[in-house]
Chain A
Amino acid sequence: MKKILLSIGLSVLVTAWTFGQQTCATAQIITVNTYGTPSINGTEVPPIVCSTGGTGATAANWYKYTPTQDFAVTITTDFISNGNIDNRVQIYSGSCGALICVAGDDDSGTNALCVASFNATAGTDYFIVFDNRWSSSGFMFQLIEDTIIVPNDSIVSWSPVSTSSITGSSLGVVDMNGDFLDDIVSVTSTNIQIHQQNSTGSFTPVNYTTSAAQFTPSWSLAVGDYNADGYNDLLYGGGSGVTFMESDGLGTGYTQVSGSQYVFSQRSNFVDINNDGHLDAFVCHDVDPNVYYLNDGTGTLTFNQGGLGDHPDGGNYGSIWVDYNNDRLPDLFIAKCRGGAGTAKINELHKNNGNGTFTNVSVQSNLADPIQTWSSAWNDFDNDGWMDVVVGISSSADGMHKFMHNNGDGTFSNITAGSGLETYLGMSTEYASYDFNNDGFADVFTPGTILYNNGNNTFTAHTIPMTAGAVGDLNNDGFLDMQNGTTTYFNNGNLNSWLTVTLQGTTSNLNGIGARVEIYGAWGKQIRDVRAGVGFRYMGTLNAHFGIGAATLIDSLRVLWPSGNKDVICNPNKNSVIHIIENSAPVATAIFNANSTNVDEFESVNFTDASTPCPTAWNWSINPTTGWNFSNGTTSTSQNPTITFDIPGTYEVSLVASNSNGNSINQSTETIVVNSNVGIATNNKVNISIHPNPVEDLVYIGLNQLKIKSIKIASVLGAQVDADLDKSSNTIDVTHLNAGTYFLSVTTENDDVIITRFIKK
């Protein structure tokens, strides 16, 4: 390594030279300035590594900085004069002996130089420490103070917490012990280690020794309970084959089941491929047609090859099972990659026909693209009820990122232009979609970056400290966290609300993998597919997670199971975890109450709906079909109608209620008895007759010799209408009235009031 020392010429730039700073206690005070630091030889090694690069430093130079006011502070060594020096910085608050990480950086500058930024609080001591992890050479550095820019609260920050007991590859964040709290899964060839999440937020490590895995999960891990014993099983996608670690039904261990077939595994998944209710497994093959393992229902898997991406050269990297056409069957999208001029790199979409066969619809869907991609992020990014996709690049050799909008008719449209993705130049093998800021719009995670969904089909990239890793909720706070090796990055969250849904299949597979989960509210509709195996390598949570932003109410939650069963939960509480067992809340039950079941004619009855759960539509029917009217502006589809009964008799009032699952199976019925009060005077009985009825022009009133004093005529809605009485003939001319039913109120010379009705033709 070339040894670059600060030259005399360089010293012109350095406004302050520093001396050797041996320890925290003797740290030199620095302020806004450019400094030269001599060879790193301080004896106190930083106690915690806040940056990347790990342990191994043996010396450090210590500085102390105490701002006079709040500043955004940058410590940089990114100067051309520092050349190839590989330096590193740790920044702490607290006090010597009790330091707390604030920031740290290894290589954010040019080549291997470092640049670290942090928000500093006035009057707080910050220790800025350069260690010799990579080099002991001296160099120049600068402390810069800037105004603090208040971060956009639509993004979230992260707190790293290291768990030193983790051993092996931390490939999974998924529940393993049946409590639906995500656990940390780390694997070696002979051990499955599960850090079980406790309800208190801590972890309990449990180790299960296994026989030496014939194939280790070097390319991917998938998790699902294929033997349906209540404990999730594991699939190791290895470079030459596939190993299953099958749970023993007791939660006490795993048995290895390895296939003899050569499989250059890439992404692997658990999914019920043939829709028989049993969880199958799928593995992308790098250099051959894809392979899958069909479950006979006893947990015995049978190797299959053919029918699910059969390009002879393979090129299969990122399989993801997504219901793109809303037919409630999981379809298969394969992110593909391959050098050269062949066709193995062209992405594929396979439509599930529901009978174990699939149809390649890559071309007609408009997703047959040669983009060099290892995984794709699927979610309904605009909450229109259809799954969209961000196809992320691993290499720019055959095109850039693509954002494809699902048109709902089996085709996708390219809406990359203007989405922000056309200017995002990062590349990775990992792309996965979750709502990290719980704003109700699914984001895209790729190592080092979250592409936050702005809610209008645009994304904004924000740098994050995490590299590739599994995603889940590791402290059950409703904000999704990430695992990187032994470090958990806890999402610090924000004020947004959320809902987490955990599933337990009965007719469908036990995990509910392949289920569609929907929530309805002020936002309209949000959807998730339950997927085992997203991104390229890791296994994330099987719980469906939603953010709902500032909304306070969730109208309903619906689960569409792979079996076809549907469940609806009404008004789930925000910020809660809802557990749904398949078919526990299948359809609406129609129920209603009437405020009276025995009324006089022309009286109204108020009907009040009490259907469950979450009725969204009502259909009232009354038998017989005449002699009554909806009143008070209500109709046959009102939730709480009012019905006025004009004709005496017995009426059957029935309700069929609907919710998002469809109509109630049984209708609810109530009998209403309507009594006649026609011809009943207010004080005594007076017989009255009218004819003809129905009438066209003149109606004659017969009143037993009594003389009529006055009349009133009103419509059934109570509106008075004008009509003249010919007292000589006791007739009323109603020629001018509209057709319909009218009340006729007759006052006799004795001031008796008699009400009857007639129908105008």
Chain B
Amino acid sequence: MRRIYSLFFFLFIGAVLLFNACKKDPIEPLPAADTTQNPVPTPTPNPLPTPVPTGVSVDLTTVPYTKLSEYRFFTGALKDQIPADNVFPYKPASSLFTDYALKKRFVWLPSGTKATYLADNKILDLPVGAALIKTFYYDNTEPSNTTRIIETRIMIRKSTGWIFAEYVWNNEQTDATLQMNGSYTPVAWSQNGTSTSVNYRIPSETECLTCHKSNSNPIPIGIQPQNLNNDYPFASGNANQLQYWISKGILENNLPSTIVSTIDYHDESQPLKTRLRSYLDINCAHCHRENSHCDYRPLRLAFSETLLSANMGLCVTPDENIDPMLIQIIVPGNIAKSVMHFRLNSIDENTRMPLLGRSVVDEVGVQLLRDYILSIDDCND
């Protein structure tokens, strides 16, 4: 416990190697393509040829695998994240801010199975054996302006429920290894031309569960119909994601005629409150809804609940008096006295919100909140 300096040294050396690796081997931007699987050539003659396995592998008796590559979710170089046959990309309308990390999301279902619609605001009911894959990466990392993949998080539905599998990418960006205990890795990159750095947190299994749960049961978050009822630029062209899933045979064709849907909070053509509600849903609702980590607080921030402004904290006295100045969660027209603004704008571990997943302020999100607060006059918005 006292001998930690060797660990620091190791991390330092690791970081140096990492940067060097990036420097020698720049990664092209990841295409969001849905391509058919290519046959994998056998590279060298083999005196005892064995069949090269193909197709996605999710053996529920042995997952999580030690290496990301073992699932064969991708074809070609793993770092290119080219989805294999029947692995489909998706993206929710608004996404969670995680220190500016970029994300690629994919879904895979066992052959012949389908997801089921339950409600606009409930995660699609995915069949046993299904997998959700989410890769976190940065473009333009320093010093050589390269792409660096940090981690790939997988959730797999077993018969007993969802499990987490966390894969951390190697410095060479050739594969990722199962690591469930969490770690830090420094990342420096150019964010819209500004040099930015964070000590990036790769979550432990319990950190995954903190957000991804209902009561104590692990669940996905993003795959709610309300978040997928929008167009995505598939390789075959733009298409509504839910309709695309139906066309690919992975979603039952029983959707209601209308789905109350979230929007992309960046979309300035949309009403301010709808943008904020979409932002709060994907960034906050996983802890501020029934049966969640913090459901003992009065906030209910799911998109389906924030039509009621009190659920969003408008004119609501906070349970916790952080500062006598912060009198309500949202004070109409008063940014300085609003707890939500203070917490979204804080980077202190004990006051920031969300609690996990970020170490810097999401300036876009905070500005959206500011705009909303200044737009309202009273508690009846």
Contacts and interface: CB of A to CB of B under 8 A. Distances in A.
A joins B in a complex: yes
Given A84-B378, A340-B292, A262 B209 contact: no
B355 to A, nearest CB: 8
Interface stretch (A105-113, A116-124, A140-148, A610-618): A105-113
B4 A86 contact: no
B75 to A, nearest CB: 34
Interface residues of A, number: 55
B86 to A, nearest CB: 34
B296 A293 contact: no
A339 interface: yes
B133 interface: no
B1 A301 contact: yes
Contacts of B311: none
Interface in B316-343: 319-321, 323-325, 327-328, 331-334, 336-337
Contacts of B323: 52, 467
A303 B1 contact: yes
B153 to A, nearest CB: 16
A433 to B, nearest CB: 19
A342 to B, nearest CB: 4
Dominant SS among interface residues on chain B: loop
Given A106-B325, A216-B349, A260-B4, A394 B320 contact: yes
Contacts of A111: 315, 327-328, 331-332, 334
B321 A447 contact: yes
Contacts of A240: 182, 184, 201
A216 B350 CA distance: 10
Given A112-B327, A341-B215, A394 B321 contact: no
Nearest to A448: B321
Given A112-B327, A238-B349, A339 B4 contact: no
A486 to B, nearest CB: 14
Given A287-B209, A287-B210, A340-B216, A134 B334 contact: yes
Nearest to A398: B296
A397 interface: yes
A469 to B, nearest CB: 12
B320 A428 contact: yes
B7 interface: yes
Given A300-B1, A395-B319, A134 B327 contact: no
Contacts, number: 135
A701 to B, nearest CB: 94
A103 interface: no
B25 interface: no
B295 interface: yes
Interface string A46-70: 0000001110000000000000000
A402 B25 CA distance: 62
Interface residues of B, number: 48
Contacts of B36: none
A395 B296 contact: yes
Nearest to A219: B350
B321 A428 contact: yes
A76 interface: no
B207 interface: yes
Contacts of A83: 377
A337 B296 CA distance: 9
A488 interface: no
A30 B1 CA distance: 67
B291 A341 contact: yes
B213 interface: yes
A260 B377 CA distance: 49
Given A52-B324, A216-B349, A218-B349, A257 B4 contact: yes
A288 B333 contact: no
B24 interface: no
B182 A262 contact: yes
Q: Which 8 A-B pairs have the closest CB atoms?
A: A339-B295, A218-B349, A239-B349, A397-B296, A1-B333, A395-B296, A2-B377, A340-B215
Interface of A: 1-2, 52-54, 83-84, 86, 106-107, 111-112, 134, 216, 218-219, 238-240, 257-260, 262, 264, 287-288, 293, 300-303, 313-314, 337-342, 344-345, 372, 394-395, 397-398, 427-429, 447-448, 467-468, 537
